[in-house]
Amino acid sequence: MTFSIVARCKKTGMLGMGVSTARTAVGSLAVYVKARTGAIATQAAVNPYFGINGLKYLEQGMSAEEVMEKVKSEDPEYERRQLAIVDNEGRTAGYTGTDTVSWAGHYFGDQFIVAGNMLVGESVIQAMAEAYETSDIEYLPLRLLDVLKAGQAAGGDKRGRQSAALKVVDIQSYPIVDLRADEHENPIDELERIYGEASINLFPYIKDLPVYEQDKKAVQDR
């Protein structure tokens, strides 16, 4: 019922996720992103603990692959799930359970994953991967938004469209982008509109917020 991308920007180290689905408020349960840690998408039959515990395990030093195996081992119904992880070093891991609804699958790229289920077809994932890999947009939030647009243009969720979300972190412990279109007939278009408004009166404000020394030091030490 969902298509998403999790990614790490190779140039800046930013981590982020973009997602859309034919269910209300996808950003409330499917999106898990933490600065200097990783980004995790949990979808199909969502298990929020894949994201909650997954980020904890990444903070403990596990790789994306190790985290995937760990959270699967804790869930007897993991074959109903879909999971995508990128860690702070750009390593990726993910799977599509055998009991998810077709079309369902994922694609591993260089420091990113696209994944989806209940899609009109594999073309959605292909379009999203191509959009990310061929993009000349360097700023991760805009690049992820562009990937979501490509997925929707390719057909997206076969049931329709209802919500979308975009979350990106940089060095700060708080996100630099955290936007949602929770209920809209064209949620990705609405998310893009909200992004435009935020560019005027929110993002300039965020740029002036404090960045504590603990965050700066964490970046220097990585």
Q: Are 32 and 10 in contact (CB under 8 A)?
A: no
From first CA to last CA, the distance across the chain in angstroms is 36
pLDDT at 194: 98
Tokens of residue 106, six digits: 């994922």
Bridge partners, 6 (sequence order): 17, 113
What interhelical angle do 140-153 and 187-201 show, nearest 10?
Answer: 160
pLDDT at 191: 98
Tokens of residue 78, six digits: 């993991």
pLDDT at 127: 97
**Which CATH code for domain 2-221?**
3.60.20.10
Sign of CA dihedral 107, 14, 45, 21: negative
Which residues are CB-neighbours of 215 under 8 A, at least 6 positions away? 35, 36, 171, 172, 173
Q: Which of 36, 33, 41 is nearest to 16 (CA)?
A: 33
pLDDT at 218: 62
Domain range annotation of the chain:
2-221
Q: What is the dihedral of CA 214, 219, 220, 222, to 10 degrees?
A: 120
Per-residue pLDDT of the chain (222 residues; tens, 9 = 90+): 699 999 999 999 999 999 999 999 999 999 999 999 999 999 999 999 999 999 999 999 999 999 999 999 999 999 999 999 999 999 999 999 999 999 999 999 999 999 999 999 999 999 999 999 999 999 999 999 999 999 999 998 788 899 999 999 999 999 999 999 999 999 999 999 999 999 999 999 999 999 888 777 665 554
pLDDT at 160: 82
Residue count (the chain): 222
What interhelical angle do 64-73 and 48-59 show, nearest 10?
Answer: 130
pTM (2 d.p.): 0.94
Q: Are 113 and 92 in contact (CB under 8 A)?
A: yes
Q: Are 148 and 163 in contact (CB under 8 A)?
A: no
Q: Are 67 and 54 in contact (CB under 8 A)?
A: yes
